[in-house]
Structure formats: C-alpha cells, structure tokens
Amino acid sequence: MIRAFNKMKPMQFYSVSHNSFVNEGFPWINRVTSGLFNEAQCPICGRRPRVPSGGDIEATLEPRLGSGWPDVLGCGAYPFFIVSPRVIDAWREERIGEFPHHKVTIVGPLPKRLVYKNQPDYCWLDGAKMQGALFDYNMSGFVGLYFCKGCGAAEFDVSATYDRQHSRKYPYAFTTGSWHAANVFTTDLSPTLFFCTEALLQCARQHRLTNFRFLDVEDGGAPGNTGIEYLEH
C-alpha cells in the first residue's frame, strides 16, 4: 500500500494531465458531441464560456489516431481530465481518494486498430467540485490581477504576465495554508488544471498506469517539458 502522506518530509506537488502530445499510439478525442453548453454572456467582461453541463458526456475520436487504449485519454475539444477504470480502482486501492466523476461515452466509428480491443469505460473528473487549494497568482508570475465583478473570472495583464513569466522560471504556487489535504485537486485558477501529491505519481508507477504527465509545480506550465519518466521500460 502507498502511503499518501509522509510527516517527515515536505509535501511535494505536481501538475497532472494526459501526455498524448508525447506518447504516440493513443487515441484522441476530437469532438464533444453532448455534455457541453455555453453559459450566459457576462454583461461586464463579455465572456460566454463553453463549460461542462456537470454530467455524462459523449465524444468522438480522431479517426486515424490510436493503436491502444491509455489510462488517461487526451481531449482536444475541451481540457477534460479523462481516466480509465484502472485509475479509479488503483486510487481506491491505495487510498488516494474518491473523487466526483462522470461517464465518457465514445460514439461514432473507432480507429481501425482499436476496433477489436477492449475499450475502457472512461470517466472525466469534475474539477469544479474538487477545489482543494487557493492559487498564489503573484508567486506564480501573474501581473495586474483582478477578478471580474460580474462572473468572477480572473483577469490579468496578458503582455506583462508573459514578459514576467518568460524572464525566469515561475512555479505553480498555492497560498500558504490553503491546501485541504486532497491527493488530487484543482484551485481557483481553473477547474481543468489539476494538481496532485507524490502519492498519485507513486500509484501510477506501481500500477503501471499509462499516459500520465506529471510536472513538478516548481516548473510551472513548462510547455516544452515532456514530464517525469515515472514508468520503467
């Protein structure tokens, strides 16, 4: 059994997502056909985001991509965090936690190399219900931050933030004392940007769960970083 907490060492955090841009051979969701809707337009900032309806979704796959089913399925239509039953079972077995999730149904034709392979019953994690820490925008390199009075969306100086975050490496930082001790969680920055503890990485390694991308929060977004090699080949 993996121990989720170690009182003798500081807690290590990671951002976590799929790694389909690096791992070849996995399918890719190209369209969500059911389960997304447009919110009402904010009268102040003008935003009208397309968001999950909070339940099951249906989606199609890129028809020419994929020769094997991963444990984390990438999605280009919306940044869902989609995992297989093996992930949910492993988290339960290792006492990582139970998290709100909803069914993902793949509709339409499958890539030819996947037709005769057992398809997992995927689900997406409902990050809007998993806020477990507050994001420290200043420590993370954001400039001119304020929140829209209409919808509460975070606004910041995009140009100045870009310059600042590219002047040196900025981490993903959390407000001190705001973490609620969950092993998988989101923050007020976004319900689709997930973070986790060392326990999740160790669980993925022990159970050989495929297509996770773990990045140390000290690396921030690090778009060119391919992630931690957690599986031995």
CB 107 within 8 A of CB 58: yes
C-beta of residue 122 within 8 angstroms of C-beta of residue 84: yes
d(CA 33, CA 21): 23
The Cα diameter of the chain in Å comes to 53
Phi, psi of 41 (to 5 degrees): -65, 135
What 3-state class would DSSP assign to 45?
Answer: coil
pLDDT of residue 6 exceeding 50: no
Per-residue confidence band for 4, with pLDDT thresholds at 50, 70 and 90: very low
Domain boundaries, the chain: 13-219
Quick one: CA torsion of 174, 177, 181, 182, rounded to 10 degrees? -30
Question: Each residue of 53-100: pLDDT tens digit?
Answer: 989 999 999 999 999 999 999 999 999 999 999 999 999 999 999 999
Q: Which amino acid is at 65?
A: L
**CA 76, CA 74: separation in Å to the nearest integer?**
7
Each residue's pLDDT tens digit, 204-222: 999 999 999 999 999 998 8
